Amino acid sequence: MIMKFRYLIFTFVLFAMSQSHGQEIASKASYLEKIKAEMLVEWPKNRTINLVFHGHSVPAGYFKTPTVNTLASYPYLVLKDIKSAYPMTVVNVINTSIGGENSESGLKRFEADVLTHKPDVLFIDYALNDRGMGLERAKAAWEKMIRLALEKNIKVILLTPSPDQRVDIKDDLSILDQHANQIKELAKSFQIGLIDTYALYKNKVKSGSNLVDYMSQVNHPNEKGHQMITDEIMGYFK
């Protein structure tokens, strides 16, 4: 009886491993390989590459509210760095982010405001504002946006939340950690890209840095904080 029970456990473990096989976050080196190749094509054979950033106040460029520091926010810092790395490419950064919005609101306008731009790469950043509606509703909204994008053969990169100084960033069980973990699991499940913003900030704090040095207000990064996110995103374009 004991042997049979152990066999059943072993069989279940093998099944679980087989089900999860291949479910990994997309490789930074290869996920955008085709797009990077197109960004090296010279005129007149080149084409415009569209990067769409969909989210809340952080990608929208809000620093110390109501100031909107567009050119120092990570979507436009990414544009600057891409133009440095790929001087022959034509790149549009299209920012569909709205301050104060959560992922359910973002989903409602997803087809009209996002898919209409025909993104080559789509970045989704809503977790900071999803706390109010909970993990289950957030997961449903993120999954729907991801599926709609993948149906159009769009490359998708998810972002975990940037910090809120009212939440202890060292607490691995905090609500922001829970949303970050859920987003990581979504990236694995769909085998798409991930920028683990929350881990970037957490590692800085754990190594002795002061979180306030990366923030313009309690829940918005400053330019230094946005640059840290930018550097991580650029890992997909190297």
CA distances from 86 to 42, 155, 156 (A): 10, 19, 20
CA distances from 123 to 75, 88, 159 (A): 9, 23, 7
pLDDT above 90 coverage of the chain, percent: 90
Whether residue 147 contacts residue 192, with contact meaning beta carbons closer than 8 Å, is answered with no
Report the pLDDT value the prediction gives residue 23, as an integer from 0 to 100: 86
The secondary structure element, H or E, covering residue 234 is helix 223-234
Mean pLDDT for all residues in the chain: 92
Which residue did the predictor score with more confidence, 233 or 4?
233
Cα separation, 221 vs 214, whole angstroms: 6
The whole-model pTM stands at: 0.90
Q: Which tens digit of pLDDT belongs to each residue from 153-179?
A: 999 999 999 999 999 999 999 999 999
Phi, psi of 28 (to 5 degrees): -65, -30
Domain ranges of the chain: 30-237
CA angle 69, 235, 119 (to 5 degrees): 65
- Residue 66's pLDDT band (boundaries 50, 70, 90)? very high
Report the pLDDT value the prediction gives residue 199, as an integer from 0 to 100: 98
Which CATH number among 3.40.50.1110, 3.40.50.300, 2.40.50.180, 3.30.930.10 corresponds to the domain 30-237? 3.40.50.1110
Q: Which tens digit of pLDDT belongs to each residue from 5-64?
A: 333 333 343 344 334 446 899 999 999 999 999 999 999 999 999 999 999 999 999 999
Q: Which tens digit of pLDDT belongs to each residue from 134-154?
A: 999 999 999 999 999 999 999
> Among residues 193, 175, 174, which one has the least CA distance to residue 184?
193
Token pair, residue 114, equals 């996002």
Report the pLDDT value the prediction gives residue 22, as an integer from 0 to 100: 60
